[in-house]
A = this chain, B = another copy of it.
């Protein structure tokens, strides 16, 4: 299985089918682990990096997840293949553009992915659609134990799991939800969300695009503290406190839009749809921005005849690397913009 086999469809975690997925797109838990007896990256020699990869790949490929996981040699992959994996959140941009022996082990459903020799020797992730953090935790905890039966993790009785960066030490856990907050953005209340997140020691990043910018009103909210609290405590705080608060903010903002600014919100939604159905050239940033409004429109019941599936598919497949992979190779920006516009029209236009 290769990146090109994944690039034709939407990742399961983004399909909008999970609980509360009109606001909480997906849940993700990541664990950072390192092998005992090996230096942290980047102090690891290439030869020893290859040894780490061999050991971990073997352990990961023997996992029994109900589907056969597959290995991708990231170092041997083309830039386009790497970018497809990045756009699907299966590997990090840092992992894609790094050097030396490194790989990924991925479940075809994309509910599980592991990066080998990224910042740590091993980073495993479980994704689920909607708010399913407890389910993510149960699954990743089981996977982690299975791996630990086959390899020796670097572990300190005082600190817990040891990691390359001290911010991950202890549990090595990162719990995150991807949320869609277009109404908070439209009503000018997004700062309220940012402030509340900062006060709770949460990190907020954009879901799509490079860096931390949040294109299309998608945000990734994650914990920053990994030491001194148990994994269950972190998950419970997300499920019982943080996510309900974010969801409530956004839901209230949607109510305000519907009840007090229905002309303005319909205008934004319909214009977005009008431009998507008409444009002959469209950048990925603009497409995300407009699709975000259409997604809101569908969730508010203000758009007829377009499924959330169609919109989710466009979110994912109009990304630059997906677009190029699915059209057979590298394209310059102008051609990508033309092809993206064509794909969107064919998906959203009636005729």
Chain A interface (Cβ < 8 Å from any Cβ of B): 263-264, 266-267, 270-271, 273-275, 277-281, 334, 338, 341
Majority DSSP secondary structure for residues of A touching B: helix
Q: Are A270 and B263 in contact (CB under 8 A)?
A: no
Chain B residue with Cβ nearest A274 = B278
Number of copies: 2
Chain B residues in 8 Å Cβ range of A274: 274-275, 277-279
Chain B nearest CB, measured from A180 CB (Å): 22
Q: With A334-B263, A338-B263 known to touch, is A275 a contact of B280 (CB < 8 Å)?
A: no
Report, nearest first, the 10 A-B pairs whose CB atoms are least far apart: A274-B278, A267-B280, A274-B274, A270-B278, A267-B281, A266-B280, A271-B278, A274-B275, A271-B279, A263-B280
Q: Are A273 and B263 in contact (CB under 8 A)?
A: no
Chain B residues in 8 Å Cβ range of A270: 278-280
CA distance A279 to B268 in the complex (A): 8
Q: Are B263 and A271 in contact (CB under 8 A)?
A: no
Chain B residues in 8 Å Cβ range of A273: 278
CA distance A278 to B278 in the complex (A): 11
CA distance A334 to B270 in the complex (A): 17
Chain B residues in 8 Å Cβ range of A281: 263-264, 267
Excluding A267-B280, A270-B278, A275-B278, 8 further A-B contacts by CB distance (< 8 Å) are A263-B280, A263-B338, A267-B279, A270-B280, A271-B278, A274-B275, A274-B277, A274-B278
CA distance A281 to B281 in the complex (A): 24
